[in-house]
Chain A
Amino acid sequence: MTVAHTLLGLLEAGPRHGYDLKRSYDERFGHDRPLHYGQVYSTLARLLKNGLVEVEAEPGAGPERKKYAITDAGVSDVAGWLAVPEKPEPYLQSTLYTKVVLALLTGYDANDVLDTQRSEHLRLMRELTRRRDGGDLADQLVCDHALFHLEADLRWLELTAARMQQLAAQVRA
């Protein structure tokens, strides 16, 4: 899930309190949808249960006083998420954007994220192209619609790739 991976990725910079983590998430990714505290803590509880984060002890403190740290398992979980392409579907850009920014933050190759995604998109486009060229007019129109959407995603992806240095400078500032 995107939020869980994003919180994990943000923890790679160092242990944080839940409210600190929420603020940092909202700043970077929450423009149109800031996280609720409830969601932050329930996500962290789940990550804790799965061994992806651990709590740095502050004895007797309530959840808002706990400091969370990413575990080794958490680090590989983020890397795994970044390495696997998203299923090509509409409105993907917010997830992809998040992945690119997190990759830049965690030192993972952000271009790899885009290349892997391009490859996945093209795979589907090849399939649709074959289906379209072998189909009747109805197939052609349906496939074309899907192809134009995937193409739009890829244009955005290329533009992002072209602006990677700029984005890296901003993200790391």
Chain B
Amino acid sequence: MPTEPLLTAESLHLSFGATTALDSASVQVHAGEILALMGPSGSGKSTLLHCLAGILHPDLGRVTYAGRDLTAMHDDERSALRRTEFGFVFQFGQLVPELTCLENVALPLRLGGAPRRAALRSAAAWLERLEVSDVAGKRPGQASGGQGQRVAVARALVTRPRVVFADEPTGALDTLNGERVMQLFVAAARETGAAVVLVTHEPRVAAYSDHEAVVRDGRVRAREHVR
């Protein structure tokens, strides 16, 4: 590849007690690229994603984001980076149940110091883009699974992050809903130029990626070998 990768994990090791979750895992993500992390259950996909996002700290190895060593950063510096540069979409449970969907989407902007009015306006535009304006005033518990995930995608993208981390974002949805979420998600990510690290075990979801990396036994299969 001609360009420098945006995000790099080099030889990550991480154990939970006696369980080795990552065993020299390395992977690169380029700007604007959609990378699917695939592999069997328990192989270390989520752990790798959390390390890449600076949520988990590897025992050994290094994570570099835009030339900065994430593993050597102070905690508050790392959380600031997560808030401003990264977005997150999980399988479910990521929205604050007490807030409306609109307020949920506005929340990351508010946390970043944006004025309330501007944050809400921007959030409304994102809900519209994800075709869920109708749930703006509802709480997440009153939205359907598919609607909830679209709200979550809107919330992940509202700050225009450079990387979105998504762990089984359609895992709880049926095929049709899952596909619609992926269509909207990927289209929006491409438009904003965000890279996406997408953990999925579903080939139809992985088909929205540009490349796949396969995690097995805590290691990533070298991408050079993938034709």
Which residues of A pack against B, CB within 8 Å?
Answer: 85, 111-112, 115-116, 118-122, 125-126, 128-129, 133, 147, 150-151, 154-155, 158, 161-162
Q: How far is B215's CA from A118's CA once the two chains are assembled, in angstroms?
A: 13
A-B contact pairs, 13 of them (CB 8 A): A111-B221, A112-B225, A115-B226, A119-B212, A119-B227, A121-B203, A125-B203, A125-B204, A126-B207, A129-B204, A147-B204, A147-B207, A151-B202
Provided the pairs A122-B207, A126-B207, A150-B203 are in contact, do residues A111 and B227 lie with their beta carbons within 8 angstroms? Answer: no
Q: How far is B221's CA from A122's CA once the two chains are assembled, in angstroms?
A: 16
Query: Which residues does chain A contribute within 8 Å of B203, judged by CB atoms?
Result: 121-122, 125, 150-151, 154-155
Interface residues on B, range: 10 to 19
Interface residues in B203-227 (C-beta closer than 8 Å to A):
203-204, 206-210, 212, 214, 216, 221, 225-227
Look across to chain A and name the residue whose beta carbon is closest to the beta carbon of B40: A162
Q: Does B20 contact A (CB under 8 A)?
A: no
Provided the pairs A112-B225, A133-B183 are in contact, do residues A118 and B207 lie with their beta carbons within 8 angstroms? Answer: no
Closest approach, in angstroms, between the C-beta of A127 and any C-beta of chain B? 9
With A118-B214, A133-B183 known, 14 other A-B pairs at CB within 8 A are A111-B216, A119-B226, A120-B227, A121-B203, A122-B203, A122-B207, A122-B212, A125-B203, A125-B204, A126-B208, A126-B209, A151-B202, A151-B203, A161-B40
Q: How far is B37's CA from A122's CA once the two chains are assembled, in angstroms?
A: 13
Closest approach, in angstroms, between the C-beta of B191 and any C-beta of chain A? 15
Q: How far is B186's CA from A126's CA once the two chains are assembled, in angstroms?
A: 13
Q: How far is B38's CA from A151's CA once the two chains are assembled, in angstroms?
A: 14
Closest approach, in angstroms, between the C-beta of B36 and any C-beta of chain A? 8
Q: How far is B212's CA from A115's CA once the two chains are assembled, in angstroms?
A: 10
Closest approach, in angstroms, between the C-beta of B199 and any C-beta of chain A? 15
Query: Are A129 and B225 interface neighbours, CB within 8 A?
Result: no
Q: How far is B143's CA from A157's CA once the two chains are assembled, in angstroms?
A: 36
Closest approach, in angstroms, between the C-beta of A132 and any C-beta of chain B? 9
Look across to chain B and name the residue whose beta carbon is closest to the beta carbon of A161: B40
Contact mask for chain B residues 33-48; partner A; CB cutoff 8 A; 1 contact, 0 none: 0000010100000000
Most buried by B among A112, A115, A155: A115
Closest approach, in angstroms, between the C-beta of A161 and any C-beta of chain B? 7
Look across to chain A and name the residue whose beta carbon is closest to the beta carbon of B208: A129
Query: Which residues does chain B contribute within 8 Å of A158, judged by CB atoms?
Result: 40, 201
Closest approach, in angstroms, between the C-beta of A97 and any C-beta of chain B? 19
Closest approach, in angstroms, between the C-beta of B54 and any C-beta of chain A? 28
Question: Which of A115, A126, A133 lies in contact with B214, CB distance below 8 A?
Answer: A115
What 7 A-B pairs have minimum CB-CB distances, sorted nearest first? A125-B207, A154-B203, A129-B207, A119-B226, A151-B203, A126-B207, A162-B40
Query: Which residues does chain A contribute within 8 Å of B206, judged by CB atoms?
Result: 122, 125
Closest approach, in angstroms, between the C-beta of B116 and any C-beta of chain A? 36
